[in-house]
């Protein structure tokens, strides 16, 4: 396995997580591509150009490049409009891929115009042919389907979230998300994929049951965490670095502000903690996302005012990923009240920093949080239920310390190097096998 085409149409791995469409998938694509590159697999990531000032190619590190493909207007586009540019995106990626191995380099480059503007300098591996395609999210899956048949290459797909799962837990977002197009596209991509990746056993079961996927083509590869950044630390020092008060407990919510992520539960949980924790505060780190993101942010600001929590809730704009570790270390408890979660990277990062997690008992969170040992899972994710577990952690310092230690030990199982090693084996197997034919 020498070279991999990674498709990330709707969001770049270089974009700031926590705002717009940037989230755990950005981290996943960036960290896995970096880890694979360090094993010797050249990773070319293709994403849509949202500005005409972007370089056609950015070399992130040796063996890891990001290419900006012209597809639609060179401006940010609403996600519901992106299906209309999938064909153009696929054509741009194919143009680049077909030039690899021809001895002519990348030709006219992935973008439009007279030639590529590469930041970081050309690489000697640009003429190496591609061995496989890895599509991320359903929009990239549509493009990957086309590219697979055009290039006769194996297709690996990671969906990150699934429409039929969201339909159960957040129907209002599905209604605004291209009606039935997404679920049908996911089903078609699963049917065409040589391997479908799931982050945990729960997601694997959902893919098999909701999309009637062949279980033999589903492989579980858990994401990782960068332990160089995310590790235990001294809470007062972390708070001082962030300019946060040293007094009282701090609750933390990290993620995009949209109904699916449940930030309202975190705000209301703070409110119902009661007079015994009148000094508790909540930091909400993240920005609005999705068709209702701005509405949700406005609603949360209004809710904070209605509950009289203006002095106890702080909204923090998205922060660079590696700096989030300071917020995790500053907090007493990290709240993950998502309605659904295919994996739950926030819970893993908080655990790696030794911060107990109280999370909804859904999806991949069930595999990350060991109830009573690293944190607590909430079966009925109401503010009152979350508040009950928060009170117990805050009331028992020895319990909090035990949960934090257990969380760190559990998080050590998850590394990007391990994920890359598993993926490389999967790619290797696919390159010597017969490709799946669409039925």
Structural domain includes residue 211: yes
Residue 436 lies in a domain: no
pLDDT of residue 180: 74
Are 136 and 250 contained in the same domain?
no
Q: Are residues 192 and 127 in the same domain?
A: yes
Do 384 and 422 fall into the same domain?
Answer: no
**70-84 pLDDT tens trace:** 999 999 998 889 999
Q: Are residues 80 and 166 in the same domain?
A: yes
Residues 75 and 194 in one domain: yes
**pTM here?**
0.89
Predicted pLDDT at 124:
63
Question: In this structure, are 304 and 423 located in the same domain?
Answer: no
Assess if residue 101 is contained within a domain.
yes
> E strand or H helix at 355, and its extent?
none
The CA distances from residue 126 to 105, 108, 112, 116, 121, in Å, are 6, 13, 18, 13, 11
pLDDT at 100: 80
Q: Rounded distance, CA 106 to CA 55, Å?
A: 14
Place of tokens 């586009």: 77
pLDDT of residue 167: 77
Question: Please, are residues 165 and 185 in contact by the beta-carbon 8 Å criterion?
Answer: no
Residue by residue, DSSP assigns 142-158 as HHHHHHHHHHT--EEEE
Burial 275-290 (b: 16+ CB within 10 A, else e): eebeebbbbbbbbbbb
Structural domain includes residue 53:
yes
What CATH number is given to the structural domain containing 313? Answer: 3.40.50.2000
pLDDT at 116 (0 to 100): 41
Do 119 and 241 have their domain in common?
Answer: no
Residue 439 lies in a domain: no
Among candidates 374, 360, 416, 358, which has minimal Cα distance to 230?
Answer: 416
Q: What is the reported pLDDT for 177?
A: 47
Predicted pLDDT at 433: 86
Residue 40 placed within a domain:
yes
Shared domain for 46 and 187, answered yes or no, is yes
Does 148 share its domain with 255? no
The reply to whether 165 and 214 lie within a common domain is yes
Residues 50 and 156 in one domain: yes
pLDDT in tens, the chain (439 residues): 999 999 999 999 998 765 556 578 999 999 999 999 999 999 999 999 999 999 999 999 999 999 999 999 999 998 889 999 999 999 999 999 998 865 554 444 445 443 445 565 556 678 899 999 999 999 999 999 999 999 999 999 999 999 998 777 555 555 554 557 899 999 999 999 999 999 999 999 999 999 999 999 999 999 999 999 999 999 999 999 999 999 999 999 999 898 989 999 999 999 999 888 999 999 999 988 777 788 999 999 999 999 999 999 999 999 988 899 999 999 999 999 999 898 899 999 999 999 999 999 999 999 999 999 999 999 999 999 999 999 999 999 999 999 999 999 999 999 999 999 999 999 999 998 899 998 6
State the total domains in the chain: 2
Kindly state whether residue 437 falls inside one of the protein's structural domains: no
pLDDT of residue 243: 94
For 325, the domain range is 235-411
Q: Is residue 191 part of a domain?
A: yes
pLDDT for position 112: 43
Q: Are residues 192 and 48 part of one domain?
A: yes
């Amino acid at each position: 396995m020498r070279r991999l085409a990674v498709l990330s149409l709707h969001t770049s791995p270089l974009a700031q997580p926590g705002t717009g469409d940037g989230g755990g998938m950005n981290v996943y694509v960036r960290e896995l591509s970096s880890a694979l590159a360090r094993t010797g697999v050249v990773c070319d990531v293709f994403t849509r150009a949202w500005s005409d000032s972007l370089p056609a190619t950015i070399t992130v590190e040796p063996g890891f490049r990001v290419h900006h493909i012209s597809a639609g207007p060179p401006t940010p586009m609403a996600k519901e409009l992106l299906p209309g540019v999938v064909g153009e995106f696929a054509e741009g990626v194919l143009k680049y891929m077909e030039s690899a191995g021809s001895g002519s380099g990348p030709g006219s480059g992935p973008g439009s115009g007279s030639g590529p503007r590469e930041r970081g300098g050309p690489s000697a591996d640009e003429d190496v042919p591609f061995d496989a395609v890895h599509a991320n999210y359903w929009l990239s899956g549509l493009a990957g389907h086309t590219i697979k048949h055009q290039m006769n290459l194996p297709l690996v797909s990671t969906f990150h979230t699934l429409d039929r799962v969201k339909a159960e837990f957040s129907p209002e977002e599905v209604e605004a998300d291209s009606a039935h197009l997404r679920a049908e596209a996911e089903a078609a991509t699963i049917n065409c994929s040589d391997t479908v990746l799931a982050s945990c056993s729960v997601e694997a079961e959902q893919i098999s049951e909701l999309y009637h996927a062949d279980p033999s083509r589903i492989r579980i590869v858990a994401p990782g965490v960068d332990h160089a950044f995310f590790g235990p630390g001294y809470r007062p020092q972390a708070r001082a670095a962030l300019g946060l008060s040293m007094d009282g407990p701090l609750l933390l919510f990290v993620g995009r502000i949209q109904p699916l992520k449940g930030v309202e539960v975190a705000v209301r949980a703070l409110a119902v903690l009661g007079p015994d924790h009148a000094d508790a505060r909540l930091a909400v780190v993240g920005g609005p996302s999705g068709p209702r993101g701005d509405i949700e942010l406005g609603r949360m600001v209004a809710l904070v005012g209605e509950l009289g929590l203006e002095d106890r809730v702080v909204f923090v704009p998205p922060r660079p990923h590696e700096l989030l570790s300071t917020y995790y270390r500053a907090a007493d408890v990290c709240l993950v009240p998502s309605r659904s979660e295919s994996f739950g990277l926030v819970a893993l990062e908080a655990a790696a920093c030794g911060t107990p997690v109280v999370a909804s008992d859904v999806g991949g969170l069930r595999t990350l949080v060991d109830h009573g040992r690293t944190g607590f899972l909430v079966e009925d994710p109401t503010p009152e239920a979350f508040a009950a577990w928060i009170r117990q952690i805050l009331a028992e310092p020895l319990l909090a310390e035990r949960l934090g230690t257990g969380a760190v030990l559990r998080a050590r199982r998850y590394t990007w190097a391990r994920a890359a090693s598993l993926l490389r084996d999967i790619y290797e197997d696919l390159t010597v096998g017969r490709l799946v034919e669409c039925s």
